[in-house]
Amino acid sequence: EPEVTQTPSHQVTQMGQEVILRCVPISNHLYFYWYRQILGQKVEFLVSFYNNEISEKSEIFDDQFSVERPDGSNFTLKIRSTKLEDSAMYFCASRVVAGGGEQFFGPGTRLTVL
């Protein structure tokens, strides 16, 4: 069964460093998302992406964050200068069509900022 994959599973970085989290969505999906989950808290929307541009972003997704689909398969989230409060699980999700359809989530990347 097709699935969303994410790498790395765990990333440890120093405050102020740049990190890139990678996702490979399901191959025929067209809509891509990043969510994050701070330990013990709810899952929060960060950004949605369609047709090579951002569709919507939350207030969390400030200038330190960016997303890119550098090729036909990868979808990346970059945090330019990490802060302690960026420590969280980051989930990528994808969906095949607009106006409905399940969002399939990847297993997540645990980001730890020291």
Contacts to other proteins from residues 80-99, by CB under 8 A: 91, 93, 95, 98-99
The 8 Å CB, 24+ separation contacts for 56-62 are 60/36
- Smallest gap, in angstroms, from Cβ of residue 81 to other proteins? 25
- Smallest gap, in angstroms, from Cβ of residue 104 to other proteins? 8
Could you say which of 12, 17, 56, 112 contacts other proteins (CB under 8 A)? Answer: 56
Q: Is 65 in the site for other proteins (CB under 8 A)?
A: no
- Smallest gap, in angstroms, from Cβ of residue 18 to other proteins? 24
The 8 Å CB, 24+ separation contacts for 58-66 are 60/36
Ramachandran angles phi, psi of 37, nearest 5°: -140, 105
> Could you give the dihedral angle defined by the CA atoms of residues 8, 10, 13 and 18, in that order, rounded to the nearest 10 degrees?
30
Q: Which residues bind other proteins (CB under 8 A)?
A: 4, 31, 33, 35, 41-45, 48, 56, 58, 91, 93, 95, 98-100, 102-108
